[in-house]
Amino acid sequence: MNANLERVLINETDLKKRIKEMAWEISKDYEGEELLVIGLLKGAVYFLTELTQAITVPTQIDFIKASSYGSGTVSSGKLNIQFDTSRNIAGKNVLVVDDVIDTGITLSEIKKLFDNRNAKSIKIAAMLDKKERRLVKVLPDYHGFVIPDEFVVGFGLDYDEDYRNLPYIGVLKREIYEK
């Protein structure tokens, strides 16, 4: 385990197993349809690659960089689009994927944005769900794990750009982000 972690919250085996289950559920729900999976950079990258490899319906991927966060741990509450998807999403079945749904601000804004661009359908898949932190009403259509209100890193999740490449989810020691 990384020395700056207090503990491992979800190990690699459990995480990958659960993501495969999510992919099977998604494949079943979209049977006979085509899917456009859009990942929120950079946090969703590890989850998106793991998930889409196990999806069995015809699937394309794209990315958008938009967040309601700066470099710290507290939401600024405002969506900021740094760069956009590469193709037109009109008429597509869009599945927005993100690492964690926290206040829900980012994903609810993204949903509105894609709705304005006339996606055929829009659903949300979040690897982690911090249910008790929700500030706006948005429910992920698919979620991996409901987690407590703790700051976690790994499998795409960062603290100031570090720890994204850890193959598991861990709770960061308080002394690391409170110093």
**Residue ranges binding ligand IMP (CB under 6 A):** 40, 43, 67-69, 75, 98-106, 151-153, 157
Stretch of 1-9, 39-47, 89-97, 166-174 lying at the interface with Mg ion (CB under 5 A): 39-47
Q: Which is nearer to ligand IMP, 55 or 64 (CB)?
A: 64
At 128, which helix (H) or strand (E)?
A: strand 121-129
DSSP state of 167: S
Residues 41-100 that bind Mg ion (CB under 5 A): 43
Task: Give the whole-angstrom CA distance, residue 178 versus residue 170.
Answer: 17
The answer to whether 170 contacts Mg ion (rule: CB under 5 A) is no
Q: Which is nearer to ligand IMP, 30 or 38 (CB)?
A: 38
Catalytic residue (choose from 98, 99, 102, 158): 102
Q: Which is nearer to ligand IMP, 97 or 119 (CB)?
A: 97
115 is catalytic: no
Sign of dihedral through CA atoms 39, 42, 47, 48?
Answer: positive
Instruction: Determine phi and psi for 49, rounding to 5 degrees.
Output: -65, -45
Secondary structure of 44-99 in HEC code, one letter for each residue: CHHHHHHHHHCCCCCEEEEEEEEECCCCCCCCCCCCEEEECCCCCCCCCEEEEEEE
What residue number has its CB nearest to Mg ion? 43
Task: Give the whole-angstrom CA distance, residue 88 versus residue 92.
Answer: 9
Size of the site for Mg ion (CB under 5 A): 1
Q: Which is nearer to ligand IMP, 30 or 129 (CB)?
A: 129
Task: State the binding partner of 157 from Mg ion, ligand IMP, none, CB within 5 to 8 A by kind.
Answer: ligand IMP
Query: Would you name the residues annotated as active-site residues?
Result: 102
